Amino acid sequence: MAAAPGRRLPAALLCAALCLGAALAVDRSNFKTCEQSGFCRRQRGLSPGHSPYRALLESLQLGPDAARIQLINEATKVPLLLELWGLQGNMTRIRIKELNPLRPRFEVPDVLVGEPPVERLAVTGRDEGSLELSLGPAGHRLLVTEKPFRMDLLQGRELLCSVNACGLLFFEHLRQRRDSFSDKLSSSVGSLWDKIKTLFHRDTPREPTAEEGAAAEGQDEAAGGTEEAGDQSEKPTETTAEAAEEPGSWEETFKTHTDTKPNGPTSVGLDFSLPGFEHVYGIPEHAESLRLRTTEGGDPYRLYNLDVFQYELYNPMALYGSVPLLLAHSARRTLGIFWLNAAETWVDISSNTAGKGGGETPQTDVRWMSESGIIDVFLLLGPAPAAVMGQYAALTGTQALPPLFALGYHQSRWNYNDEEDVAAVEKGFEEHAVPCDVLWLDIEHADGKRYFTWDPSKFPRPRAMLEQLAAKKRKMVSIVDPHIKVDSGYRVHAELRSRGFYVKTKDGSDYEGWCWPGSAAYPDFTNPEMRAWWASMFAYDQYEGSTETLFTWNDMNEPSVFSGPEVTMHKDAVHYGGWEHRDVHNLYGLYVQMATAEGQIQRSGGQHRPFVLSRAFFAGSQRYGAVWTGDNTAEWEHLKISIPMCLSFGLAGLAFCGADVGGFFKNPDAELLVRWYQAGALQPFFRAHAHMDTARREPWLFGEDNAALIRGAVRLRYALLPFWYTAFYHSHRHGVPIMRPLWMEYPEDTTTFAIDDQYLIDRALLVHPVTEQGARGVQVYLPGKGEVWYDTVSYQKHHAPQTLYVPVTMSSVPMFQRGGTVVPRQERVRRSTECMQGDPFTLYVALSPQGTAEGDLFLDDGKSFDYETKARFLHRQFTFAGNTLTASSADPRGSFDTPVWLERVVILGAGKPGAVILQPANGSETRLDFQHEAEPPVLTVRKPGVRMGDDWAIVLR
């Protein structure tokens, strides 16, 4: 929930919230542009092609795990240390930091799942100005050029990526502040003189950068004095010797907030050139198309977790989460760049083919700029899309396997008023036969917005309420935000303060700001002791009224501070270990979700899988739960943008993604609401949510016709739950997205590269939700030369590749099953996932042109870690070939006793057999009933009756 008008707030806080967007739209003036962000402005002021850095090749140290080479800035004489690793699995790591820093610089912890295993490096070539390193058995070579410093990564004779080819390596070294009066006077006069000169030198359109200004300081430190540099103003490089440090280097003001910057300018930046690529993706979160646009002539894409009120679409503004992973794709290969830095980051993208015709070889240049920390980057070399996904997962982990209920439908609102309201809504789902697994409570459920409590008048019997829901096989989620009401009588606050667990101000007092409770303090989630304490608060005897069916929503965890700069925490606030907030900002939300998930695991004695939804995120957040696209709006464009946003999330490892169905702000009409349910039912996380100022919009409130349409969409979701759950298992094991762009499965088909209004669920279902008002049809692209696709309603077969016009009605959800796949369903849809766990299965077998198909099914208890710790699971493989459908074990390590059985087999594209024979593992044969439709050809085999965990064959004769 973004700060918004309409929340019941203290008067002062209400004024602050109103200032954030009384016009029901983002107030851009509350958020910085690159020009207003000092380090971004300084780095963008650097012109390409004149790098001052030289690699001291004679300093090479080649160890068993890494190569180390010193770099020197020839203007400042400040040495840097370049470290290089070849990593197993086709990855390369590059790290650049100060050789002798004045004080330590922040290096991101807790994101990598471990130290990546390395390959042995070797020097394979050397001459006067360059050095060649072999990076391992995959044939990758790294060519290091001495002056100007540059690196080229090759495989065989193919150039994959160049580093610092544009000369934009930028590293603001730590330094002492020059505070003497003469320094300040000299600086001011020099700056004024430079500005005067620019009036008469049209070819000098920029002010000196901070690194240029640091040159004089660096020479003072190296030589013990200064000397006249002469007129260097016309050289647009970092080599100006006496330029003044830019205003804002040591103190920066935005609106009414001043950032004291006690460590001075500390930003880092580096460019990467990608020859042969013109399509790049990733770096969520942005309300943007799937394919990233070039940023020339506008702002770079910004990665800085922020509470943005009613965000705008198709711009590079920062939103709630950040994953610094960019993917480049061509018909030849896929590459990834993972920039491991948690500070405010901007990403510039340029292309030599953007908006141009002709036959020029495409190249995309990507420039990363971060405010602090070090340069630590991983090059993921693929070459296939799934390989890049696996490489990123090897570094940061895979999507946590959620409990099965979390894949069902979630009903939320700010706020369900009281226990009676909750009971009435639950009853409505029962009466209108709409499946639902979870009801949600927003901030009004707590006692004065004191989290871990319940309002005593509205929710006096929370345990009884939860037990009543559990009796209907339903769950609840309550919100627990990381801003804690400052109230000496509030146990949570008192204990956090007494333990010293709050974030501190630069002066050492507890940091406080305004948020929903009024004056609030912020737990320091970077402190592992604080995270352990937070986790302990989810124990049943600590979180009063909680039960094992209560799960958690972490909102506002960017962190949101209504009274802070850009609606977040001051950058000079101090965290555990003495690190500034500027260093750790984008990690905060990840740590909140991490601690909350750990609390849910601990409360069950380590037995049960958690469910935690988080608005803020970073690389690695996928290990802890779900995310969503934040506070969207009930508009068609917001429905449409939910698809590329979730596709981008998935490419960055965040597979469990969804959008608020119906839109958080404003009131959808019936058509928009129905279309949103149809789209949301086919996204990984399926939740309806709305602002308190909107009209109630439970599924049955728009008339029976629309209720029936919504019911159909939700029931389709539940029928496909076995397929969804198996797709989540694939993601959990291999790091692949669940909701994925077409080019992931068809990497050589250039038509797919910019498509973001349709997508694949796993590899078997192609979906094109209807996102246009009044639509009578949609254009669906069916990829795959020589492949076929089957309409999942009519069973009509379509040959690919082709663009197919599909007429739609209000009940239409265009969806196609890929020929050659098997999709499991459970078609006896009930009120919740738990009610369906013992129900029988139907297998939909879609034949390829060669008459083959394959698919799988994952089964376990749906809630515990036993699949992992005790191998209590079934992973079944289904294969159709030679007119025979066989079931076998896809993973013989697992075993799980379940009575679920096979009720029906539907074979799309099959001819009429003379007989259908069941052959169980004991060698007996049984004739089965079947029905065949000639046009389109569909064979339905009834009641094979075999258990899903058994081996068997069904033969068509």
* Nearest residue to 381 (alpha-carbon basis) of 391, 371, 373, 395: 391
Rg (CA), the chain: 29
| Cβ atoms 606, 865 nearer than 8 A | yes
HEC per residue, 122-190: EEEEEECCEEEEECCCCCEEEEEECCCCEEEEEECCEEEEEECCCCCCEECCCCCCCCCHHHHHHHHHH
Alpha carbons 531 and 831: distance in angstroms, whole number: 36
Q: 362: how many CB neighbours lie within 10 A of its CB?
A: 17
Find out whether 395 and 338 touch, Cβ atoms under 8 Å.
yes
Instruction: Find the angle CA(2)-CA(6)-CA(9) to the nearest 5 degrees.
Output: 85
User: Out of 152, 442, 555, 583, which one is annotated catalytic?
Assistant: 555
For residues 47 and 37, give the distance between their C-alpha atoms in angstroms, rounded to a whole number.
18
Distance from C-alpha of 894 to C-alpha of 876, rounded to nearest angstrom: 10
Residues 679 and 632 sit within 8 Å (Cβ to Cβ): no
- Calpha distance 169→792 (Å, rounded): 52
Q: How far apart are CA 52 and CA 239, in angstroms?
A: 7
Ordered DSSP codes for 671-694:
HHHHHHHHHHTTSSSEEE---TTS
Residues pairing with 132 in the sheet: 125, 143
What would the two tokens of residue 377 be?
Answer: 């980057």
Q: Does 929 qualify as catalytic in the annotation?
A: no
Provide the residue type at 588 as one letter.
Y
Which residue's structure tokens are 């693929």? 382
Cβ atoms 458, 445 nearer than 8 A: yes
| Beta strands in 630-685, from DSSP E residues, in sequence order | 657-658, 660-661
Q: Is 631 a catalytic residue?
A: yes
Which residue is associated with the tokens 């240049």?
365
Please state, in angstroms and as integers, the Cα–Cα distance from residue 341 to each residue in 249, 367, 523, 619, following that order. Answer: 20, 14, 22, 10
* Amino acid making up residue 942: R
- Which residue, 476, 452, 477, is CA-closest to 537? 452
From residue 125, alpha-carbon distances to 55, 130, 138, 145, 549 in Å are 16, 8, 17, 12, 62
CB-CB contact of 257 with 347 (8 Å): no
Looking at 437, 572, 631, 749, which residue is catalytic?
631
Tell which residue, 446, 523, 444, 442, has the closest CA to residue 482. Answer: 523
**377 φ, ψ (degrees, to nearest 5):** -135, 140
**Per this entry, what is the length of the chain?**
957
Q: What DSSP line would sit under 420-433, residue for residue?
A: HHHHHHHHHHHHTT
How far CA 420 is from CA of 37, 415, 430, 464, 632, in Å, comes to 49, 13, 15, 12, 28
SS3 of 509, please?
A: coil
Least Cα distance to 771 among 834, 875, 871, 683 occurs for 683
CA distances from 245 to 80, 208, 220, 344 (A): 21, 8, 14, 21
Distance CA 728, CA 232 (A): 59
Task: Tell which residue, 518, 512, 502, has the closest CA to residue 443.
Answer: 518
Q: Which residues are catalytic?
A: 555, 631
